[in-house]
Structure 1
Amino acid sequence: MEKRSLTIAGHRTSIALEPEFWAALYTVAAARDLPVSQLIAEIDQSRQTGNLSSAIRVAVLQHFRGEQ
């Protein structure tokens, strides 16, 4: 697990993801021409689960499945 701190929606938060998910998240952000922080903020706003790390994993999976 890699834990990183960033600011989303005006507040600092820490997110712990496996290195492979961080790499995939950066790939998704690049494909959408977004900074990673903005992509995470979008995921945060639209998530259906209470856990941001889980929502990020699902969003990455959906991207690579072609569901997003």
Structure 2
Amino acid sequence: MIRKHSATLHGHRTSLSLEDEFWTELNTIAKTRAIPLAVLISEIDDQRQPESNLSSALRVYVLHWLKSKRDG
């Protein structure tokens, strides 16, 4: 199910729509990296292409993370 989530990025609140499974994985990644979830989301936001949206960038990040763990 897609849900609205809020995060503070660089001092500004933003909302994003993301499936529960991706939100759970983002939390797991942040815990694994020992960083706050907001920091992880900010990093992904800073690295995404200007024409992509944040929700898509988060999904792609999770996919790449999981693939790297499987293949690594």
**How is 1:1-68 mapped onto 2 (pairs within 5 angstroms)?**
1-48=2-49, 49-66=51-68
For normalisation by structure 1, the TM-score amounts to 0.91
Q: Secondary structure at the match of 1:66?
A: helix
Q: Distance in 2 between matches of 1:39 and 1:33?
A: 10
Identity over aligned pairs, percent? 51
Larger Rg, first or second structure (1 or 2): 2
For normalisation by structure 2, the TM-score amounts to 0.86
Q: Distance in 2 between matches of 1:11 and 1:66?
A: 31
Residue-pair matches, total? 67
Pairwise CA RMSD of aligned residues?
Answer: 1.3
In the TM superposition, what is the alpha-carbon distance from 1:50 to its structure 2 partner?
A: 2.3
- Which 5+ residue runs of structure 2 have no aligned equivalent? none
